[in-house]
Amino acid sequence: MKYSIIKIYLFLLFINIFTLNLYSQWINQPSGITAKLNSVSAVDNQIVWACGDSSKVVKSTNGGTSWINVSNNGINGNKPLITIFAVNQNLAFVEALYTGIFRTINGGNNWTLVHATSKFIDGISFNNENEGIIIGDPDGIQEPFYIRFTSNGGSNWYQGNWLYSLWGGSYINAIYRINNRLWFGFDGYIYFSNNQGWSWNTQQTTSLEVYSIYFKDSVNGVAGGLSGSGQQLKMTTTGGTSWFQIPAPGTSYTIGLAWKNNAIWCAKHTSYIYRTINNGNNWTEDLYYSATTFNHLSKARNGTRLWAVGTNGKIFLSEALIGINKISSTIPEKYILFQNYPNPFNPTTKIRFSLPLHSDKGMMDTKLIIYDVMGRVVADLTPALGIGKEGLAPGTYEVEWDASDNPSGIYFYRLITDGFEFTKKMLFLK
C-alpha cells in the first residue's frame, strides 16, 4: 500500500511539472532545408510561409507540422530571398535580392516576376488580395524611398507620393500594418500612414535605428533596434506620436517583436528569444537554441501562434500567445466543457475545460477549435505537441480567446479529446 501511494504521488508530481509552463513552449519544426531563412509570414495558425537564401521558400498548411518546399519554379538562380508576405495559402509575394518581386497564385507551384527592380526592398505588405505596398531603400540621404503600390494583386505597380529619407534607409521586415495604418522604420525615425501609404507623418524615436516594429492595436506599439549607446527598445501608447525607452534584453539588435495582452516577445539577432510580462521591467529567456541565429519573428495575423526563423533552415513555433493555463491539478471525475465567460463578450472571453484521468499514461491529445456559423475554423487554440510531449495532463484548464479580428456574431467552440467531444455556443458583440 505504501509503495502504491508513493507511485501515485510521483505520477501526480510528474504531470504537474510536465504542464507547469505551457505559456512558453517553443517547438523545433524541421523545415527540410538547411539554407538561412530570412523572413516568415503567417496568415493564421495553420498557413505560414518562410523564405531564405539559395532561392528557398517553404510553406505549411497545418501549423508547421509538415513543411513543403516550394522553391525555384520560376525564381531562377541561387538568389537570397529577403522578405515574404503571404496573403493566403495560394497567394504570396517574395523579394529576390536586387531582382524584384515574385508572386505565386497557386501555392508556390509557379512563381512569376511581377515587378523588376534593382532596389533593395525591405518590406512587403498587403491589406487584402488586391491592395499592397513595397518599400525599398533610397539611393542615399535625402533621396526618396522606393515605394510602389498595387491595386490588382501585384499585376501592376505604380509610384505614390514622394517620401524622402531624412537619414539613411530602412531595414528588412521593419514594417507593420493594421488595416489601413502602416508603420516602417529607418535611422532615427518611424514613418506612419493612416491611408495605406498615400501620405506619411514622421515619428521621431530619438536616434534609434529601427530594425523591428509591432503594434498590438492602433495605439500601443514597440520598436527595437540600435542607437549610439547600443541596442534599445522603445514603446508608445499614443500610436507613435511619442516614444519612450524601456529596458531591452540580451545583446545585439532586435529582429522581431510580438505583443499580446500583457506579454511582449523580443527576438534578437542571436540564439535567444526573450519575454516580458511587465512592459520590459523584467525579461526572461523564452528560447535559447545554439544551432541557429534568429533572423525574424512574426505572429500570425489572424491567429495566436508565433514563428521564428533563422540560420540552418531552423523554424520554431510557440503557442505562447494561446496561454493555456492550468488552474487546478485536482483530477476531475469527468470531462467538462464549461460555458465561456463573459458571454456575450467583447473582445475577449475565457473558456474552461476539465480532463479526467483517461489512461495509465495520463496524457491526452486535446484540441479546442472555434468555428463561425458557416462551420469554418476561425481559431485553433490547440496546444502544439513537441518532441516527447503527449498532450495535456488531467486537470482543469483555462484559455482566453481574443476575437478582435473577427466580426460580431455567433461562434461555436468545440473540445475534442480522447473519449470526449462537446460543443458550446457563444456570442461576440462589438
Domain boundary among 268, 286, 318: 318
| Cβ–Cβ under 8 Å, residues 294 and 254 | no
Residues 333 and 311 in one domain: no
Q: What are the tens digits of pLDDT across the range 90-133?
A: 999 999 999 999 999 999 999 999 999 999 999 999 999 999 99
Domain containing 31 — which CATH number? 2.130.10.10
Residue whose entry in the numeric block shows the C-alpha cell 504570396: 92
**Distance from C-alpha of 301 to C-alpha of 405, rounded to nearest angstrom:** 9
Q: What are the tens digits of pLDDT across the range 200-251?
A: 888 877 667 888 999 998 899 999 988 766 788 999 999 999 989 999 998 8
Domain boundary among 264, 288, 318: 318
What's the whole-model pTM score? 0.75
**Distance from C-alpha of 117 to C-alpha of 148, rounded to nearest angstrom:** 11
Residues 421 and 348 in one domain: yes
Domain containing 351 — which CATH number? 2.60.40.1930
Residues 314 and 348 in one domain: no
| Cβ–Cβ under 8 Å, residues 397 and 325 | yes
CA of 220: how far to CAs of 60, 214, 215, 244, 279, in Å?
30, 9, 6, 12, 11
Low-confidence ranges of the chain (pLDDT < 70): 1-25, 165-170, 206-207, 228-229, 320-324, 358-363, 383-391
**Distance from C-alpha of 71 to C-alpha of 174, rounded to nearest angstrom:** 24
Residues 231 and 246 in one domain: yes
Residues 103 and 195 in one domain: yes
Residues 63 and 43 in one domain: yes
**Distance from C-alpha of 305 to C-alpha of 285, rounded to nearest angstrom:** 18
Residues 363 and 314 in one domain: no
Number of domains in the chain: 2
Residues 9 and 66 in one domain: no
Range of the domain at 10: 2-17+323-428
CA of 308: how far to CAs of 262, 313, 316, 388, in Å?
20, 11, 5, 21
Residue 320's pLDDT is 58
Domain boundary among 292, 318, 344: 318
Residues 257 and 168 in one domain: yes
Residues 274 and 354 in one domain: no
Residues 373 and 334 in one domain: yes
Residues 418 and 275 in one domain: no
